[in-house]
Amino acid sequence: MKLMKSRIWAASLAVALALSVLSGCAKREPEPEPEPVKGAGIQVGYATEGITAVEDPEAMSKALDEAYEKMQEDRITLSYRNDAFSDDGQNFSCYIANSEDNKYDMFIGIYADMELTDLLYLSQLLRPGTAFETITLDRALEPGKHQVCVVFTTVETTETEQVIHGETAVTMNFTVNA
């Protein structure tokens, strides 16, 4: 009985070995062709101001020139004196202007904090080349030196709308004499 079990086991092993050898020798199906990579053939290009140039130096140069012209058009030239002075904390002598180099009207906001949540003053529109040398804040500041945030905003006014073209912020020193 023991001999018979060994022969059955050996025969089973031989059959399994033969099947594995035959399956390795059998003619294999050809591997499927790889699928094309998505995005193949895409060219690298350059884009500015919504204009894309792909491998065309002249088109890229033209796009950069147009972007530069647009940037110059919306550029804000600042004109101000960094210090303002007051005896009562509300009326300040200063110099803040809409430079004559600017193309658009401008308004100015002065804030007591850098988070722009505490508005001290908001001007009317200033035409290019106009300035003010005194301002009256909406509320008085305590005696001492205060660093305020001044926001210059350029605006184009048409018959139907006002378009903000640029905005920049600077800090100024507002000193209230004791």
**Residues 69-108 as b or e (16 or more Cβ within 10 Å = b):** eeeeeeebeebbeeebebeebbebebebbbbeebebbbbb
pLDDT at 137: 96
The pair of three-digit structure tokens given for residue 20, joined into one six-digit string:
């594995």
* Residue 104, token pair as written in the block: 């658009």
- Say if residue 11 is exposed, middle or buried (CB neighbours under 10 Å; 0-12, 13-18, 19+): exposed
Show me where the domains of the chain are located.
Answer: 45-74, 76-176
What is the pTM for the complete model shown?
Answer: 0.60
Q: Give the per-residue pLDDT at 159.
A: 86
Q: Could you say which DSSP state residue 61 is in? A: H
pLDDT confidence of residue 123: 93
> Which of 99, 76, 80 is CA-nearest to residue 173?
80
Predicted confidence (pLDDT) per residue in 83-132, tens digit: 999 999 999 999 999 888 888 899 999 999 999 999 999 999 999 999 99
Q: Tell me what pLDDT residue 103 has.
A: 87
The pLDDT value recorded for residue 157 is 82
105, 152 contact by CB (below 8 A): no
Model confidence band, residue 55 (pLDDT cutoffs 50, 70, 90): low
Which residues face 52 on adjacent strands? Answer: 47
Q: Is residue 31 scored above 70 in pLDDT?
A: no
The arrangement of secondary structure in 76-176, i.e. its CATH architecture, is Sandwich (2.60)
Give the pLDDT score at 80.
86
CA distance 142 to 177: 9
Angle at 93 between CA 87 and CA 96, to 5 degrees: 150
> What percent of the chain lies above the pLDDT cut of 90?
40
Q: What is the pLDDT of residue 174?
A: 96
Contacts of 62 (CB under 8 A, 6+ apart): 51, 53
Average pLDDT score over the chain: 78
